[in-house]
Amino acid sequence: MKRFLLVVCGLFTLSCQGYKDDVVIIDGEKKRVLIPVSSVARTEGLRAFQFSSEKVHDGMLFFTNEEAVFTTVNMIFPVLICSLEKVGDKEFVKINCSCVQPETKIYKPESQYVYEELYSDKNCKDKIKF
């Protein structure tokens, strides 16, 4: 029941799960992102938005520590996970990206700044907005 409430809350009210809506520049492109600010939001990540009807967000931006690992367990869609370098106030460049398939237990990014996008195909070519 708790998981169901978290997902419903995430779909209808971003703030109740602890997400911040923002616009950042990544590789020269404006991206509308969600930034998880609570521990629950960081743990859930994109999982809570796989079937969102809003379709306005390009991705999710995480500020992590050195020990952070990501997982796509219980995901339906592949996730493009990019390690970023911060070059300005809200400006980043991609260091490297990996198309991580559903049910991957551990993915370790190479940076404290991490950007995720959802994709509908295994090659991470057809992006899904949420």
CATH of the domain at 118: 2.60.120
What is the residue range of 110's domain? 2-128
Determine the pLDDT at residue 17.
62
The pLDDT tens digits for 15-40 are 456 999 999 999 999 999 999 999 89
Is residue 60 pLDDT above 80, yes or no?
A: yes
Task: Give the residue with greater pLDDT, 39 vs 2.
Answer: 39
Determine the pLDDT at residue 65.
87
State how far the Cα of 27 lies from the Cα of 78, in Å rounded to an integer: 21
Are the beta carbons of 58 and 101 closer than 8 angstroms?
A: no
Is residue 8 pLDDT above 70, yes or no?
A: no
Q: What is the pTM of this model?
A: 0.83
Tokens of 3: 């998981």
State how far the Cα of 70 lies from the Cα of 77, in Å rounded to an integer: 15
Work out how many domains the chain is built from and give that number.
1
Chain mean position to CA 41: 10
Is residue 13 pLDDT above 80, yes or no?
A: no
